[in-house]
Structure 1
Amino acid sequence: MALMENEGIGCWVGWLRPVERLERSIRRGRSRELSGEEKRTVSRAVAKLRRLEEVNRRLRDSWPDLFAGQFDVRLSDDEVERLVTEVCQSDSGMEIRDAQRHLVTGLSRGVKELGWDVAVPAPYTSVSVLPSLFSTETAERLARFDMVQDRYLEWLQGTTSDGPRDIRIDAGELLFSFAFHTGVACHGWFSELSQAIGKDLETYRGTYWVTLEKSSGAGKAGLGDKKRRRIILAPMTALLLRRWHRHWSGRWPQEDTSEESLHVFTQHIGLASLTVRECQALSESNLTTVVPGFLVHYARTLDLGKSLRRENWARWLTGQFHQTQSDVAAGDSDAPSAYVPIENDVPPSETPATDQVQYFCDLAKWMSKFVSLSEKISVLADYDRRRLVAEFRHRTRKDIQRVFRQEGVSALSRMLAEYSLFLIGSDGALDTDLVRQAKHYHHLQRLLDYSPDVLSASTLDADEWQAIYDAILEVSPGDAGAIQAALSSWHEFLHTAYGLERVPSEVSDGGGVDAAILTETEFDIAKQQLLAAGGDYARMQLALLILGFRCGLRRSEAWSRRFEDFPGLGVEGVQQPELLVRPTKTVGVKSASAVRRLPLAILLPEDEQRWLAEFILDRQRRLPTNNRAAPVFADPVSGDFRITEPLVFSDLTLLLRQVSGDDSFRFHHLRHSFASFNLIRLLELSDGQLLSSEGSPQFVSDADAHEGGSEPLWRRAGLGDPSMSLALLSQWLGHSSERVTLRSYAHVLDFLLGQYLIARENPVLTLAQQQVILEKSPAALEKFRHRKRLTDRASTAADLLSCVRIRGARPIEEKGKTYPTEFDIQTAPRKTRHLNPLLPYRLALLVDQYSSRTSEASVGEALAHAASQLDIDQPLAEAWQARASALFNLPMPKADKLGRFSLNAPRSDVARVNFSLIFRAPELSNFPVPPQSRTAFQEMMGWFVQLADWAERDALAARDSLRLTAEAIQRSRPNIQPRGRERQLAFLKLILELRLVRHFEPIIHTTDANWPAAQQFWAQNSGLPKTRFRQELGVLKDPPKDGILHLKLKSPGKAGSYFWAALRFLVFTGCVMFDAVPGNADSQVAGS
């Protein structure tokens, strides 16, 4: 660092931080006695430090503006090429890599923080490759594997199918085949086989599999999810399972463990006792010779390659539509007992994030004490340990709740406080998983920068939370591992406590991975629907769909692409167009590995290449200048993102959920689809070998059935052989490790492993062996072979399996349907979604406040001032005020008093500012009070989204329903009970559109004679089934023939006692915003 201090020019922090980080690492290493390996690590760090200092010297001498961190530096492509050449000159490949990565990291940060206009080059990346499992012991194990396999086939040859069967021997033989033929080499999955054999067998076109599930990381923590793996049976295993079902109907010997059953069988066939671990070790060694190396890692571990859910797997396999329900719908389920929310009536603060730092420091201090306590009590007796833990929990919970019940605490800070309470637990012993998570708690302080965006847990969807996590990791490369662990645990808490959808994590154990993909069929349906819709908005959605599904881009990466990031696309004579993923001024990248080049020529079909080129060229033509640095999805005229990112992605996600039938599908799952499908394509020996033209999998029993196909993808991508396919895919995804790709994104490893084993673990069986496997006498076998046209005396296990079926196997296509043909596609932005139901109230409040502070100001001046503050057009503001005044003063029937909507709330001083818009808000002269409950307010916001969508679809029906419902509201009672058939139908329609009908019990007051007709009438006009209606005898002597409808509130839901107040406020603000003032107030509106 002396170099930097003695120079007249200051070095920008972006170049200094990596150097300082290395220096600290070296000092820590030298401060203690080191082993030989640790000394070599320090030596490598010293050498790297010298290389980075040399890069900074060259920057200082040749590029002073970059070195000093000047704002708005602009470099052309030629200058960038010269910069890389001058700064990274070296004879060593390692030195070039370190220097270039240091340069790329600094340039990326400069683009984001200093506004540099620089085309950041892709770094020289080296993907961390999974180690080979072929060792010196492998040859010995392979020899023993062959010996055991030969002994088993000899035993089959010499035995007969006559005589009584022993369930223990049959169970051991089946387990033996699962290990030796089907490749179950992981002890954790092997132990689950006995539970799945009898109940989870499924089939499709002669291929059979069982699905295993295993809880992960739950325990007392309450976190975690089930790991899932689909075991596709090799032909030999399937034949043995068929025999098992014929004799034992899925039962399993309860008195024996898997170890004991296997021991009994190996002794029976004349082998020295084989343990389960030894069988798995032999199977693992065999797999190293028949499948790619990463599939060996998959077979031997629990956490890699979580399998798809059954419905998603069925959609991909069969090409049929299978409806998928999310495991936990956000906000629809109660939080588990381990989660205890802070009971609080004080509203969260909307203060800046800096005001929340002290609150977080207090939380971090409590978490530090919690970790220290866990270390101290490890040597104490059980009684003392329980006493200290109970005292600490009681004291800490009381302190946290006292602090976070104060005013000024933001919603995010309260969620962090609830997370801290969750970590310390409520009873029982300390959970080691939670203690480990508490050690990383201080890293969550980085979330406070986003405090203004988090008004509640459901304010942001899973994609937006993931964008926040990616942005945090961009600026924290040094502590990325610990920060990822902290963020992963935090989001798992959000999923557990609030029902948020999961996001992929690079530190996940495989249980919390949200395994979902979009099939090729579904992509084509969505693409055709958007093409048919036409218009700029639909074209934008289609371009984003292609970038996600075909290129694997993250949401922020797709949205921030610029015109210059598509070099060669649509240019005549360019054979290899590319897509550059690099940081921009608005969006960075997750890591240095995320800067990458994608070959569009081999990833996109020709028709999609042409369409994307035309789309980009069309938007570029509309630019006022030839500014290739402009974002593709920004408004061509203004250059701003007038259509917001959440808006366009929410509409695209809605379409994808309709097409797939999966109500938890997210845009990020397109990236999972890209990873899964391209991994299969990169392993094909010819194009179309494993994936059909429609994108559905093909099980091939011949390992060499690839002749005559077109050139495979791995060869078109420039690889010499398919062995480096996974490393290439990791580079395309922007991952630094193959393990990350396998653990969180590749969900088709079960198919790949099954395909290899079906093709290669397919023994040829003699007639004697066939008799034992099929349990047929020589004569019966001969008839069977003649009937099935098996001409060769020795037949493969796959040939035999194709001629039989397994009793009890469930066909996966039995519940499939054809895909729907009509979808709700947004051809224009849903602007009403971003209207706020509080906006008219805020307008009226500002008018009152301005009028009270400035007594001589006219109403027009106050309205103009309020409209300008809220960025509302003056005519719209005037219309809202007039409608609100007329509606609020709508007279009650048979009464002289005004104020149908008034709750007689005391009108406090509106000039004061120390109240929120939810709590202690005043009733105004022309507006009722908003619901005085945070939960009820959030519920009302959700209702408004449904109301706004309805008003956009059918404005006339929505206005009529609001108008008639407003006429039915009475000041004397909080609930809404319309009189007259027209108003009752209107209110029922409103409840249906707001999706609130589940909270009500519809009751028809009528006579027994009129009950069938009344039931038929209300069922036809509401769309509800007849069984939803209940009869009560009419309260009138002569009720109408169709009866009187009464909607009885049976469950107010989360709104609780504020349900009717929230609904009344929604009706009022809806009438104001959507021009639904009742008829007898129209004259007042016109007069105003």
Structure 2
Amino acid sequence: MNNETIWSGWKLAKPTKMATDGQETRRYQRTMGQYKSLLATLETLDNLVPGALNGQHGLAFPDEAITGVFEELHRTASPKALKIAHNLLVKGLERGHAKLKWHVTIPSPLVTVTRKPPTVTTHSFSELHPWDDLVEAHEAMPNSKGFNGDALHKWLTGRWLFQLIREGALMNRHGLEQIPDAFERGITFFPGSGFLTLEECIQSSNKEDKDEKDEGEEKDGETSADDSSSTSTLVPSIEKEQRFRYRRLFLSPVSQLLLLNTYQAIGKAWPRTASKSIVPVEQCLMFYVKNIADDAPPASFSALLSMAKTSAALEMSPLLTHYASKADISLSLRPSSWQRLLQRKVLTATSVKTDDDEVYLDFQAPNQTRTTVSDQLKQLRQLQRCFSASLVGQTGRHEATNNIEAFLVVSNNNGAMVTLLAKWCQKLMQKGGRVKSKLVARSAATYLSTIARPLVAHSQEFGDIQSASADEWQALYDNVLNSAKSPGMRAKMQNRLSDFHHFLVDTLALPNIDFEYIGGTKQRVDVNIITPAEFHRAMTLIEKSDQPARFRTMQKLALILGYRLGLRRSESASLLIRDIAYLPDHDEVQGEVIIRANQYRRGKSYSATRRLPLWLLMPEERKSLIQWTQQRRGEATTQAVEKQLLFCRSGSGYLLLDDKELFRPIQTALKTVSGDDSLRYHHLRHSFVTFTLLRLLEQAPGELLPRAWILDDNRNVAMPNADADISALAGLAPQGRPSRKRLWQLALWAGHASPDETLSSYTHLLDWALGQALRERFNPMLSIDTQFALLNLPSKTALSSWRNRCGLKGQTQASELLQYLKDDWQNYLAADLFEKEWHSYQAPTHNPLDNPLEAAFDWPEATTIYQSMRLVEQQEICDVPFVDAIHQAARRFVLDPEQLHLLIENGEALMQRKTRRSNQQFSREDNRNDRLRRVASKSIYMPELRRCMAPPIKPPVLREAGQFFHRLLDWHQSQPVIAEESLITLRKHMQRSIGHIVLPDAKAINRVRELLRPLRCFQHVYLVVEVEATAKEKRIKQHWSKATDIPHKRINLMPTPTPSGRTRHWYGNANLKITRGNYKDTQQPLWEAVRFAAFMAILVLGLDK
């Protein structure tokens, strides 16, 4: 085949011979052979899909063809040639999909992962001989008689440090460097073990965090009466501990005895130099090693650690050796989280904020101004000058707000993004940020400077802000985040973008964005878990709330899926009915949950696709999930039931739930039952991985996951298969038999590509597992000489007297000896930051999930009403009596039969309404003869009914219509008179197909516009005025602008279509257009949403007469 006919997107160029020498000839022969092999693969694909080789546009590749080509390639090619050919095909198909609009399923590329070298090699094993000599000398318990003063202090601390690395408790330099501070803080005990807490201060890259903290500490009259109840919800101790990351160093009995001996000899002060600085750990350790070594000691601190790692690899499990050798994996729980797990108590000072975070600011969202980037950046600099260094405290906040208001009023050159940023800053100073209810000007300016410049620059090509989809917003934010110069700056920008977009969602009803999966660098691990007792408390709190039964059920199931299966937030929200795999009426087939990409979410990676066994991970809750799935199947009226969402409003199977309906109540419940205001839904996933890993590692049930940890408040076991060997149940090696497959199985369940991510970010109790292993391995029988060396007693006679008082005889185990030394630790205990802040959990007297002001929950969903009416008409077509049809539909959609009967009557009256010209006002004439067939069909999505107009077809428009419907009902509840006047005016004059409302006068126009205010669409109108040919444009625009408050640029004049060419009034006849774009566009999604929402609101409120 001619090389010129090969499409350039395949990136396959025919090699050329550059010279005539032997080396070049051999290179040419090799590359030519490779070229022919790759070309043959492409020709095989071209035979199955003609035109693929030369790059024809719009090709459709059958899955069978793609599968056949790749399977043949994998069957015949060598490993190296396979990788080259496989990735050539993958990348070429990707380019074809992007550039030539190919429809093709593209496999994942092949990636070569470099194999890590083994821990124990021939060279490292040969170094164990001097190590064994050191260990033998150390275990002989040499005395320190030859040392005093600073040398004695270094020798004693060095001896204890050597015991730590000899055991394998801590074998990384970074962790050892944190030992002196932990030593001086003291030891903490709980039944069965003791530990030191290593703390590392995390240098926050978020300057605004400090600003907010300073803001919270200012006392100069900044907190007013309005926000006195909205102070920080975090206990000061929790605020402090969130600035650190922790690692608990659990001590074996021998390490505890050596530590006590060191404390009694030198106190809690780590050895110091002459300048009062801390003596480095390395210096103390090497000083001790040099004094006990018979031969040449290890050359360096690194060599000593290398020996310790090799020895531990031969004695401990690979996982625990890996954990002790690394500083950045499996971070330990924060002190408050650890205490919650041990004591099952909550913090007293924590108040959980449960009110709705929605903020409505009445302003007109601007159109995208056609200006250059430099012009908008200039306007941004003017906005930033509204904040001054002198603007601090209450006065500064008001002054900055007024400056911004003046900036918006005076300037006519602001683009949409600059205007929205300005309004966001106003909201921050009026409603607040993350710490206080109101931010000072300095903090608001910091928020603005973090994201404003790249956001304004990238938004110039963004298009219409109101009509942009979630994917378009996410792409914009991706571009903004890619401008970050460091991981810390990226994290700060992502936080501010999340705040900004939340503001846009609340004020402009824009689509939600899942910021957790906006691409980029890995963020700092948020360490927290939910205990089994807290999980059951949250379930009870949700069950006893006053929410509708449907929402309670969905929230409980989402909570279960996060805690039992470790589902991500987006995975829970986007589950489809088909993703719950089970066989009805066959309990022996336990079923599973399938996590995979769909139209609502793309997987975080290829490994996110997985199957989770219900019978193993959630056997008790399995029945509830299947019952809900069966209920959802029964709600569907079309054949495409399997593609509908598992969690949705009734009748809205294709619309995702809002956060406030699904995840926000769950998070409120978790915060309430734990007292920890930092808990999020994602911590359910951390809990699943943490507890499941302990269960996979333990040799017997209850060994690593104590029974006391898995009990609820009623002392019932709150974990599934608590007494079973889940390794054996999962088809892995039984407990007691080593197997690395357990880690891979856990990573598979968590949706990770390898155990690296699982261990580094999601497991938080490996410190406890290592401590339990050390307690078993280093608990020897101690001779009298060893006891004398470890105990701080003046003579062996004193030792004998003390042993007689304790009733000890002969050799004694180290753990037994520690039981009689409890009183000796009193001066060396670490302080408990939360000692006075814990109390037993009591269910709140007022359930924070009860929200009587949320009227949206009190009304059926608009699509639910439609689907119930459709089911009634379907039953009527099947000759079911009308009354029976109403009861069947009411039972399926959980409605009151009398209420449904009234809705049907109202709908029938509305659909019979006609215009002044006797045209149907809501019904399409061309569909009336075909209506029965469409209603009865199970393949047509949502046709027009005899008693209800058809909902919008496009899911985003339907979602917006549902939001508008509830806002109209809420508005009617708060302002019934104004709402009814506006709705009735719209009902009289609206038309079926276009956003063209012929209104008699300015009062009627203003009444209809009032309806758009609660919908946050007040500015999305045009006024098209029919005028005489001789009319004065400026005078007429002034009249209508003054009468309706619509700006001149949104008032358009057109000649009157009347035969006489004259109008009744000099100012013409005005028609109102409701649109986000140009009112001449054929597609008007805003009007479709407003029309359907208004129709359903009129139907529900009975305003049909």
User: So what's the TM-score if we normalise by structure 2?
Assistant: 0.55
Summarize deviations over 1:524-583 as a string: whole Å, max 9, x none: 222233345581111100111111111111111111111111222655155452221111
Is 1:316 aligned to 2:341, yes or no?
Answer: yes
SS of 1:230 mapped into structure 2: strand
Q: Summarize the Cα distance change of 1:744–1:158 in structure 2 as closer, same or farther, 3 Å threshold.
A: closer
Q: 1:207 aligns with which of 193, 202, 217?
A: 193
Q: Summarize the Cα distance change of 1:781–1:493 in structure 2 as closer, same or farther, 3 Å threshold.
A: farther
Is 1:259 aligned to 2:244, yes or no?
Answer: no
SS of 1:665 mapped into structure 2: coil
Q: 1:820 aligns with which of 796, 820, 842?
A: 842
Is 1:276 aligned to 2:311, yes or no?
Answer: no
Residue in structure 2 matched with residue 1055 of structure 1 by the alignment: none
Is 1:524 aligned to 2:509, yes or no?
Answer: no
Which 10-residue stretch deviates more, 758-767 or 215-224?
A: 215-224
SS of 2:49 mapped into structure 1: helix
C-alpha distance in 2 between matches for 1:201 and 1:4: 76
Is 1:559 aligned to 2:573, yes or no?
Answer: yes
Residue in structure 2 matched with residue 623 of structure 1 by the alignment: 636
C-alpha distance in 2 between matches for 1:113 and 1:319: 58
Q: Does the 8 Å contact 2:150/2:271 carry over to 1?
A: no
C-alpha distance in 1 between matches for 2:328 and 2:566: 22
Aligned-pair CA distance for 1:468: 8.2
Is 1:748 aligned to 2:765, yes or no?
Answer: yes
Residue in structure 1 matched with residue 332 of structure 2 by the alignment: 307
Residue in structure 1 matched with residue 415 of structure 2 by the alignment: 408
Q: Summarize the Cα distance change of 1:263–1:291 in structure 2 as closer, same or farther, 3 Å threshold.
A: closer
Is 1:611 aligned to 2:652, yes or no?
Answer: no
State the percentage of identical aligned residues: 22
Q: Does the 8 Å contact 1:157/1:769 carry over to 2?
A: no
C-alpha distance in 1 between matches for 2:303 and 2:1017: 77
Q: Does the 8 Å contact 2:167/2:312 carry over to 1?
A: no
Which 10-residue stretch deviates more, 124-133 or 770-779?
A: 124-133
Gaps of 5+ in 1: 8-15, 28-38, 333-345, 367-403, 419-436, 698-707, 875-905, 916-1088
C-alpha distance in 2 between matches for 1:508 and 1:187: 25
- The one-letter code of the counterpart of 1:236 is V
Residue in structure 1 matched with residue 682 of structure 2 by the alignment: 668
SS of 2:302 mapped into structure 1: helix
C-alpha distance in 1 between matches for 2:601 and 2:691: 28
Q: Does the 8 Å contact 1:202/1:810 carry over to 2?
A: yes
Structure-to-structure mapping, 1:420-819, within 5 angstroms? 452=465, 489-493=489-493, 495=495, 512-533=524-545, 535-568=549-582, 572=586, 574-575=588-589, 577-604=591-618, 606-626=619-639, 627-641=641-655, 643-693=657-707, 695=709, 710-713=724-727, 716-718=730-732, 721-776=738-793, 777-782=795-800, 784-785=802-803, 793-805=810-822, 806-807=825-826, 808-810=828-830, 814=835, 816-819=838-841
Structure-to-structure mapping, 1:993-1004, within 5 angstroms? none
- The one-letter code of the counterpart of 2:49 is R
Residue in structure 2 matched with residue 975 of structure 1 by the alignment: none
- The one-letter code of the counterpart of 1:60 is V
Higher relative contact order (CA 8 A, sep 6+): 1
- The one-letter code of the counterpart of 1:825 is L
C-alpha distance in 1 between matches for 2:37 and 2:782: 60
Residue in structure 1 matched with residue 1003 of structure 2 by the alignment: 859
Residue in structure 1 matched with residue 261 of structure 2 by the alignment: 243
C-alpha distance in 2 between matches for 1:316 and 1:530: 21
User: So what's the TM-score if we normalise by structure 1?
Assistant: 0.56
Is 1:179 aligned to 2:165, yes or no?
Answer: yes
Q: Does the 8 Å contact 2:252/2:774 carry over to 1?
A: yes
Q: Does the 8 Å contact 1:236/1:797 carry over to 2?
A: yes
Q: Does the 8 Å contact 2:74/2:82 carry over to 1?
A: yes
Q: Summarize the Cα distance change of 1:132–1:47 in structure 2 as closer, same or farther, 3 Å threshold.
A: farther
Summarize deviations over 1:225-274 as a string: whole Å, max 9, x none: 64432222222222222223333331122113323322332344355555
Q: Summarize the Cα distance change of 1:829–1:349 in structure 2 as closer, same or farther, 3 Å threshold.
A: closer
Summarize deviations over 1:92-141 as a string: whole Å, max 9, x none: 79799999999999999999999999999999999998664222333134
Bigger radius of gyration among the two: 2
Q: Does the 8 Å contact 1:127/1:727 carry over to 2?
A: no
Q: Summarize the Cα distance change of 1:162–1:726 in structure 2 as closer, same or farther, 3 Å threshold.
A: same
SS of 2:126 mapped into structure 1: helix
Summarize deviations over 1:711-757 as a string: whole Å, max 9, x none: 24266243584323222222222222433222222222222222222
Q: Does the 8 Å contact 1:182/1:233 carry over to 2?
A: no
Q: Summarize the Cα distance change of 1:867–1:495 in structure 2 as closer, same or farther, 3 Å threshold.
A: closer
SS of 1:210 mapped into structure 2: strand
C-alpha distance in 2 between matches for 1:146 and 1:586: 60
Is 1:90 aligned to 2:114, yes or no?
Answer: no
Q: Summarize the Cα distance change of 1:846–1:361 in structure 2 as closer, same or farther, 3 Å threshold.
A: same
Q: Does the 8 Å contact 2:981/2:1007 carry over to 1?
A: no
Q: Summarize the Cα distance change of 1:87–1:560 in structure 2 as closer, same or farther, 3 Å threshold.
A: farther
Q: Summarize the Cα distance change of 1:190–1:802 in structure 2 as closer, same or farther, 3 Å threshold.
A: same
SS of 2:740 mapped into structure 1: helix
Aligned-pair CA distance for 1:145: 2.8
Is 1:912 aligned to 2:897, yes or no?
Answer: no
C-alpha distance in 2 between matches for 1:121 and 1:411: 42
Q: Does the 8 Å contact 2:592/2:614 carry over to 1?
A: yes
Q: Summarize the Cα distance change of 1:615–1:692 in structure 2 as closer, same or farther, 3 Å threshold.
A: farther
Aligned-pair CA distance for 1:821: 1.9
Aligned length: 757
- The one-letter code of the counterpart of 1:181 is E
Q: Summarize the Cα distance change of 1:221–1:552 in structure 2 as closer, same or farther, 3 Å threshold.
A: same
Q: Does the 8 Å contact 1:284/1:296 carry over to 2?
A: yes
Q: Summarize the Cα distance change of 1:199–1:540 in structure 2 as closer, same or farther, 3 Å threshold.
A: same
Aligned-pair CA distance for 1:286: 2.6
Q: Does the 8 Å contact 1:312/1:322 carry over to 2?
A: no
Q: Summarize the Cα distance change of 1:623–1:301 in structure 2 as closer, same or farther, 3 Å threshold.
A: same
Q: Does the 8 Å contact 1:518/1:669 carry over to 2?
A: yes
Q: Does the 8 Å contact 2:62/2:104 carry over to 1?
A: yes
